[in-house]
Structure 1
Amino acid sequence: MIVKCVANKGSEIGPYRRGLFYTPETRFTLSIGRLYDVFAMALINGSLTVLVADDYEKPAWLPLQLFEVEDSSLPADWEFVSHDIGVDSSGPGDLVCEARWGYSEVAHSDAHFYGLEERDPESLRVFDAERSRRA
Structure 2
Amino acid sequence: MKLVSVGSQGRDLPPDVLAASGNTPFSRFNITVGNEYRAHAMELSTYGLNVLVVVDTGWSYWVPISLFRVVDGALPAHWEFAVVENGGPVLALWGYPSLIHDPDHHDDLIEREPAAVEVFRREAGIGDSGPKG
- 1:32 and 2:33 correspond: yes
Unaligned runs of 5+ in 2: 128-133
Residue 104 (structure 1) aligns with = 97
CA–CA distance in 2 between the matches of 1:21 and 1:104?
28
Equivalent residue runs for 1:87-102 within 5 Å:
96-102=89-95
Unaligned runs of 5+ in 1: 89-94
Residue 79 (structure 1) aligns with = 80
TM-score computed with the length of structure 1 as normaliser: 0.86
Query: Helix, strand or coil for the counterpart of 1:124?
Result: helix
Residue 59 (structure 2) aligns with = 58
Cα shift at 1:129: 1.3
> Are the aligned partners of 1:41 and 1:49 in contact in 2 as well (CA < 8 Å)?
yes
Cα shift at 1:127: 1.3
Cα shift at 1:133: 6.0
TM-score computed with the length of structure 2 as normaliser: 0.87
> Are the aligned partners of 1:46 and 1:98 in contact in 2 as well (CA < 8 Å)?
no
Consecutive aligned runs of 4 or more in structure 1 exceeding 4 Å deviation: none
Residue 119 (structure 2) aligns with = 126
CA–CA distance in 1 between the matches of 2:69 and 2:80?
23
% same residue: 34
Change (3 A) 1:63 1:133: closer
Query: Helix, strand or coil for the counterpart of 2:51?
Result: strand
Count of matched residue positions in the alignment of Structure 1 and Structure 2? 126
Equivalent residue runs for 1:39-54 within 5 Å:
39-54=40-55
